[in-house]
Structure 1
Amino acid sequence: MNHKLPSFWAEPGKYLDTTDRNTKDPLPPLATSIGWILQCGVVLSTLLIICGMLLIPTRPGGLSSQRVQNFPQTLHDVWVGLLMLRPQAIITSGLLVLIATPVVRVGASIFTFLKERDHKYVIITTIVLAILLCSIFLGQGSSGEAATALQFHFSFTRAILIFLGSLLAGLIGALVGLGGGIMVVPMLTIIFGFPISFAIGVSIISVIATSSGAAIAYVRDRLTNIRIGMFLELGTTLGAVSGAFVAGLLAPNLLGVIFGFILIISAVPLVFKIGEEFPQRVHNDRWATALHLASSYPDRTAGREVAYQVRRTPFGLAMMYLAGLISGLLGIGSGTFKVVAMDTIMSLPLKVSTTTSNLMIGVTAAASAGIYFSRGDIPPLVAGPVALGVLAGALLGARLLLYMSNRILRVIFVPVILISALEMILHGLGIGPF
């Protein structure tokens, strides 16, 4: 029966609450705890970054290229800088809070599952957290290219332009389940002339910002399937660690070309499904039944609660491992593969695929963020405006998605996936600054 949603669905609330807007029943404890962790992490990170940026003009030199290249690269340097109220250290602390948010979210989920006596997900989430922590603490990289050798122009005007460009990246990333890196890397390298090492490091921050910012609304509005996300994170985190270990043994450029063409081929089923609003004749497989993956979500465009089931779960998990492997090998986001796997293989509604991908990409990015930070590839004066812009764009995109149909999302997603594939192929062939 296609009935109208109650009037209290007309305007979403401005703040996170713990009530289901459709039934007025409390949201599940897991969704509530994840929502609050994400919101607290985003708010604290934003405040620290803004405070640091506001202090920059009060220091000699202002927003200069020399100041961009001189920033704390260890936790000790950050702590010393905070005690002396150095702007760069304050901004860096905000970025570290943002990086830590997905990790804390995974850890807190363990206690929620324990309270619910959901032992299967206690084990699953504990494994994900263990893999994540190992990748962070055991995967420290050596220092990267010397910042003093870099030549580029930076000013307050450029910082504003970076913020605006990042806002657009976060908006698109939130809508289609990507991290925004597909736009951030070319923007920083082509338009603003930053070295590729800085662009990739800042791109990792944009992925986490998109994930955390958009997921606040998606979790609250019951669009995200948290259990599917938790289960599939087994594949993405394990794949990311595997990719990092074998990156030095394989030819990542060749793999980038291969995976780019695979991505183009995988987009073909999406083209044939452009007119599809909801998956048809989908039934749970044994894994989905055992793991309680089936769920429902309120769809405003359809004006009803949409129930869905999940199939080919093992193949979806294998695809997630591949997505993580690509991320670890090539240092790029793999949200496109996550969405394709959930949409075409597991037959989830596209809104559920994109929102669940948004929740997951933050965890995958956090696994490698520590490496980029230790290498000195995350300059705070560049990453700060990017993080603020992406967060604002992600929050806006999360609001817009509620009013979009799955058909419109496919029309947006297919060109994005083709651009992403082209970027991977060019990167692999060494053509352009990607």
Structure 2
Amino acid sequence: MIERDEEAGAKPYALNTPVPSISNKAEPPQQPDEKGAQELLQLSNSISWILQGGVILSALLIVLGIAMLPTRPGGLSASRLLNFPQTLGQVGAGLLILRPQAFIMLGLLLLIATPIVRVAASLVMFIKERDYTYVVITAVVLAILIFSLFIGNQNRQNELTVDAMQLHFSLGVALLIFAGSLLAGIVGALVGLGGGIMVVPMLTIVFGFPIPFAIGVSIISVIATSSGAAVAYVRDRLTNIRIGMFLEIGTTLGAISGAFLAGLLAPNLLGVIFGFILLVSAAPLIFKIGEELPRGVINDRWARTLKLASSYPDRKLGREVSYQVTRTPFGLGMMYIAGLISGLLGIGSGTFKVIAMDTIMRLPLKVSTTTSNLMIGVTAAASAGIYFSRGNIPPLIAAPVALGVLMGALVGARLLLRMSNKILRIIFVPVILIAALEMILHGLGIGSF
């Protein structure tokens, strides 16, 4: 079947056959050889299975814990919400006496561990392939993640004190949180934002939870969105694993920095910062809202050395789309900022990741959003240990958020395959603007609309 890309003026191409990126210079895109393609396919399949297994096991444990709640006195009250295990020792002790919140917390911890296991498995695969460049890159990312877990366990001085009388929690509230998280998961999977931009405003503005709780739970939602959506994106070759692994160096370092900085700032200030960050991040995308594929992109030296150029099957266009990568060092620098924001505000910072890959590195938007989805889980995992050690992840709030976001992410991943890049931009911009205005108004004490 022969088609033509009329908008780009490309030459005829065959369906499912890699074609050169649209470029002003005659440089063929760097594609992996047959052996390299098989190795990438094997790595993609392995990562997909790990993510799927982690999601299923964590969801089962969370559901089991929820099912056990009626067997214990207290119901879904605010006082019970605040009485939960906050250390690994307390989780273990709770499991021995069949405490429901201990099972929920174990499921949440397994969800946090899923992206870390994914990085460890990638390291093993790169060693088997003797791809020593990515062995070093992946080892650095894994070392940062492990380091974040150790420093998290030593950072308990910022525990949050909350008055149960100021909170309202019930079965109805939990169901509403689940419904809102379902929508957050769908939107997050579509635009690579992790759901945090909806979860934080929902928990603070709508339900009145303290912002440290909202940020801690949002970290869980980010990992859930990443793991849930990435199962399909990695399997369908929409995600660029090499780009994601390389850029995760910057995001993980930034996430650790941001998580520590968060303990030094006032909650209202966090809300205002959150809002203005989202407004600024949306501005460049407005001017590119009609773009389907980037043009005139030439691989830079970093992209050639790291073999970042690739292709993906676009069902909407009905063909294989090849692309190249530019300004890689600037993209890496932007990722540190993205990680800093993620650790600071618990939002996954997918906005900055997408902007860095779409605007700076000039990747197709579908590749940017799906690769962002893969990365945000690792970024969030780098700071999750710190929030867990502070007691900022209450299981009874995190459980409906995690389940809702997981289900929404699976739905969103299916929808994205049938959407164009233009439609994704149209969805992306309003979501950011609405959430930004809500958080700025709330942070300034003006209220919300």
State the TM-score, normalized to the length of structure 2: 0.86
The residue aligned with 2:399 is: 384
C-alpha distance in structure 2 between counterparts of 1:430 and 1:46, whole Å:
37
Q: 1:260 to 1:178 in 2, by over 3 A?
A: same
Task: Give the drift of 1:343.
Answer: 0.4
Q: Which residue of 29, 34, 46 corresponds with 2:42?
A: 29
Within-5 A mapping of 1:156-175: 156-175=171-190
- Verify: 1:69 aligned to 2:82, yes or no: yes
C-alpha distance in structure 2 between counterparts of 1:202 and 1:249, whole Å:
19
SS in 1 for 2:85: coil
Matched letter for residue 269 of structure 1: P
Matched letter for residue 210 of structure 2: P
Matched letter for residue 307 of structure 1: S
- Is the contact between residue 141 and residue 372 of structure 1 (CA under 8 Å) also seen in structure 2? no
C-alpha distance in structure 2 between counterparts of 1:320 and 1:136, whole Å:
20
Matched letter for residue 133 of structure 1: I
SS in 1 for 2:373: helix
The residue aligned with 2:113 is: 100
C-alpha distance in structure 2 between counterparts of 1:63 and 1:254, whole Å:
31
Task: Give the drift of 1:421.
Answer: 4.2
Task: Give the drift of 1:66.
Answer: 1.9
Q: Which residue of 206, 212, 231 corresponds with 1:216?
A: 231
RMSD over aligned CA atoms reads 2.6
The residue aligned with 2:9 is: none
- Verify: 1:113 aligned to 2:135, yes or no: no
- Is the contact between residue 142 and residue 374 of structure 1 (CA under 8 Å) also seen in structure 2? no
Matched letter for residue 366 of structure 2: K
C-alpha distance in structure 1 between counterparts of 2:264 and 2:67, whole Å:
45
Within-5 A mapping of 1:58-207: 58-139=71-152, 140-207=155-222
Q: 1:219 to 1:67 in 2, by over 3 A?
A: same
Task: Give the drift of 1:146.
Answer: 2.3
- Verify: 1:39 aligned to 2:52, yes or no: yes
SS in 1 for 2:166: coil
C-alpha distance in structure 2 between counterparts of 1:161 and 1:424, whole Å:
20
Matched letter for residue 311 of structure 2: S
Q: 1:316 to 1:252 in 2, by over 3 A?
A: farther
- Is the contact between residue 57 and residue 63 of structure 1 (CA under 8 Å) also seen in structure 2? no
SS in 2 for 1:62: coil
- Is the contact between residue 197 and residue 432 of structure 2 (CA under 8 Å) also seen in structure 1? no
- Is the contact between residue 102 and residue 363 of structure 1 (CA under 8 Å) also seen in structure 2? yes
Task: Give the drift of 1:197.
Answer: 2.0
C-alpha distance in structure 1 between counterparts of 2:269 and 2:196, whole Å:
21
The residue aligned with 1:354 is: 369
Uncovered stretches (5+) of structure 1, i.e. residues with no partner = 7-23
Q: 1:73 to 1:430 in 2, by over 3 A?
A: same
- Is the contact between residue 236 and residue 321 of structure 1 (CA under 8 Å) also seen in structure 2? yes
SS in 2 for 1:153: coil
- Is the contact between residue 189 and residue 226 of structure 2 (CA under 8 Å) also seen in structure 1? yes
Uncovered stretches (5+) of structure 2, i.e. residues with no partner = 4-13, 18-36
Task: Quote the sequence identity (%).
Answer: 75
C-alpha distance in structure 2 between counterparts of 1:214 and 1:151, whole Å:
35
Q: 1:182 to 1:150 in 2, by over 3 A?
A: farther
SS in 2 for 1:169: helix
- Is the contact between residue 198 and residue 435 of structure 2 (CA under 8 Å) also seen in structure 1? no
Within-5 A mapping of 1:231-380: 231-245=246-260, 261=276, 264-380=279-395
C-alpha distance in structure 1 between counterparts of 2:171 and 2:274, whole Å:
38
Task: Give the drift of 1:432.
Answer: 4.9
Q: Which residue of 407, 413, 427 corresponds with 1:412?
A: 427
- Is the contact between residue 188 and residue 194 of structure 1 (CA under 8 Å) also seen in structure 2? yes
Task: Give the drift of 1:60.
Answer: 1.6
C-alpha distance in structure 2 between counterparts of 1:48 and 1:244, whole Å:
27
SS in 1 for 2:312: strand
1:286-331 alpha-carbon deviations (Å, 9 max, x no partner): 1001000001111010000111110111111111111112223444
- Is the contact between residue 5 and residue 300 of structure 1 (CA under 8 Å) also seen in structure 2? no
Question: What is the number of residues matched between the two proteins?
Answer: 417
